[in-house]
Each structure stands twice: as structure tokens, then as C-alpha cells.
Chains A and B, each alone.
Chain A
Amino acid sequence: NAGVTQTPKFQVLKTGQSMTLQCAQDMNHNSMYWYRQDPGMGLRLIYYSASEGTTDKGEVPNGYNVSRLNKREFSLRLESAAPSQTSVYFCASTEGRLQETQYFGPGTRLLVL
């Protein structure tokens, strides 16, 4: 099992460009999450999907959209990138029960110039 995979690993964008970060998991998990990690801020939840067909905003959703394409895949889209979106983005998944581990992908490092 690959676990949680993310593409791309690195990306450089110019302000105003758009891009989609891809995430897939092969653990048959119900819930999937997108976080961003900035120095000194910890991981902050952008959006999550409790189950296939549902998505909800997290702590910092502005400037992002998500799509839960199917049970395996959860994508994050930046429609018009801004320098403030320079960050490391992690996707995670879990079965969704209490006291359960979230499994993280390797991250996407995004630089917006």
C-alpha cells in the first residue's frame, strides 16, 4: 500500500496563477483533510471531507476550493494564488472514528512569487 500520496512535491507559481494539488489514499478511508503548515503556526486545517460527497471548511479556507472526486481522491485548488499561500500543504486521511490515527502524505511545497 502506498498510503497517502500527493502531487506535485514542489511547485513555484506566480501571483494570480491557478493550480490543483492532488491527493489520493489507498487505505479505504472515509475522511480526508487538507492542512497547511507555516513556520511557528503549526498545521492548520483548510478543508476536510468527512465522507465521500461531503466537504466542509476548516480554520483557513479562504482562497481555496476542494473536490472529493471519489472515496480515494481529494483535491485542493488555488484559483488565484497569492504570496500568502506560500506554504507546505499536507493531505491526510482517516477512517473517521474516535481515537484514530490520521495518516499524512509527504507534502507539497508551494512558493508563490
Chain B
Amino acid sequence: RKEVEQDPGPFNVPEGATVAFNCTYSNSASQSFFWYRQDCRKEPKLLMSVYSSGNEDGRFTAQLNRASQYISLLIRDSKLSDSATYLCVVTTSGSARQLTFGSGTQLTVLP
């Protein structure tokens, strides 16, 4: 079983739609949680951190359920520029903050 699992998609949605991505992680000792965004043939960039209380950044809302080991990302009012691959990322403890990446969910927002 992969440590971090995501639905690979692709998700094809019209502009203005609301779309939700889910992610599950297997290590109950995971400490920190993130969503990264990766555009085609580019490097990953941090979209947002995910906190236990849930957090929102504009049209983006992230939720964490530690009991179910589940993370979600909701995008409201999708824009064409949201088209990308969204990576679910968790960290484990250790001397360095090692990130474990999901394989990503591909989103295409259609005009």
C-alpha cells in the first residue's frame, strides 16, 4: 500500500465548477500536511498547508481528519489557471522534514 494515496483523475470540470480532491495517508505518526501544485513540466510549489482545524485561502479550502487519516482540497469557482496536478504531501518525524508525496491528481478546467 502506498503511504499517500490520491485519485489520479483526470478531473475535467467547466469553469466556475467546484471540485474536491481526496487523499489518504497510512502513517498515523505523520505530523504535517500540505497540498502542492505542479504545472506541466514545472516544479512543485506549495499551495497551502493543512491544519487540523481546516483552513481556507481564497477559493481553496483544505481539511484534515486525523482519525480517518484523510486530507481534502476543495476548489470553488474553478478558473482556467487552476489546471494543474495537485499533490498531497505529508511529513514524517526525523532529523529532516522528509516529505512523502502522493502521485497527484490531474485537474483540467475547461472553458
> Whole-angstrom distance from the CB of B24 to the nearest CB of chain A?
14
Known: A40-B8, A40-B103, A98-B32. A48 touches B96 (CB 8 A): yes
- Asked if B49 contacts A45 (CB within 8 A), the reply is no
Q: B32's closest neighbor in chain A, by CB?
A: A99
Contact string, B69-111, partner A, CB cutoff 8 A, digits 1/0?
A: 0000000000000000001000100011111111110000000
**A7 adjacent to chain B (CB < 8 Å):** no
CB distance from A22 to the nearest CB of B (A): 16
A58 to B102, CA, bound (A): 16
Q: Is the CB of B96 within 8 A of A56?
A: yes
**Residue of B4, B42, B96, B102 with most partner-chain A CB within 10 A:** B96
Whether B96 and A96, one on each chain, are in contact in the complex, defined by CB atoms closer than 8 angstroms, is yes
Contact-residue size bin, chain B (C-beta under 8 Å from the other chain): 20 to 34
| Contact-residue bracket for chain A | 20 to 34
Among A65-113, those with CB < 8 Å from B are 90, 94, 96-102, 104-107
The reply on A31 being an interface residue by CB < 8 A is yes
Q: Is the CB of A50 within 8 A of B32?
A: no
14 contacts between A and B (CB under 8 A): A31-B96, A42-B87, A42-B102, A43-B99, A44-B101, A48-B96, A48-B98, A50-B95, A50-B96, A54-B95, A99-B32, A100-B97, A104-B44, A106-B43
The chain A residues found within 8 Å of chain B, CB to CB, are 31, 33, 35, 40-45, 48-50, 54, 56, 58, 90, 94, 96-102, 104-107
